[in-house]
Amino acid sequence: MAPHEVYSGELFMDGLAVDTSRQRLYFTGYNASGGGIIARINLQRNGNMRQTVLEGLHNPRAIHLLPEKKLMFWTEYGDKNHPPSIHKARISGRRPKRLMSTGLFWPNALTTQGDDLYVGDGAGRVFIMDFHGQGNNMDL
């Protein structure tokens, strides 16, 4: 099958993550002024309808889903009034919480193993913490 477009919109897209259990594609996006969102599209409906999950974000980048725990994590580069940060929320967008906002330069990457969240930073560091932001130690 040839590549085909599943969504086209007005935002700059950065992070992508798929909830395979519900066939939904989540993405981080932002406009030219840096205002950002997390949105999802239903892959079973050819992506023709975008649903905003969170808005008012500050240059969101990476996103990571744990559908079995109904959680999502994302990074924000921030702006002159908001520092770079790491966040989590329910996969529905409810109950957002900032996990970390100090010591970050460009939080670019996220992954999990067990109950640990790993964050890759553009300054050449990797942080590890639990899902509540505790123990955010530099790992590498």
Q: Which long-range contacts (CB under 8 A, 24 or more apart) does 18-22 make?
A: 18/43, 18/65, 19/65, 19/67, 19/91, 20/67, 21/67, 21/68, 22/67
85 and 48 Cβ atoms separated by less than 8 Å: no
Going residue by residue through the chain (140 aa), what tens digit of pLDDT does each one get? 788 777 777 888 899 999 999 999 999 998 877 689 999 999 886 656 789 999 999 999 999 999 999 999 999 998 889 999 999 999 999 999 999 999 999 999 999 999 999 999 999 999 999 999 998 666 55
pLDDT confidence of residue 16: 96
- What phi and psi, each to the nearest 5 degrees, are found at residue 7? -160, 145
Entry pTM? 0.92
Task: Determine the pLDDT at residue 48.
Answer: 63
Q: CA–CA separation, 23 vs 136, rounded Å?
A: 32
60 close to 89: Cβ distance less than 8 angstroms: no
For position 43, what pLDDT does the model report? 86
Q: What is the residue extent of each domain of the chain?
A: 12-102
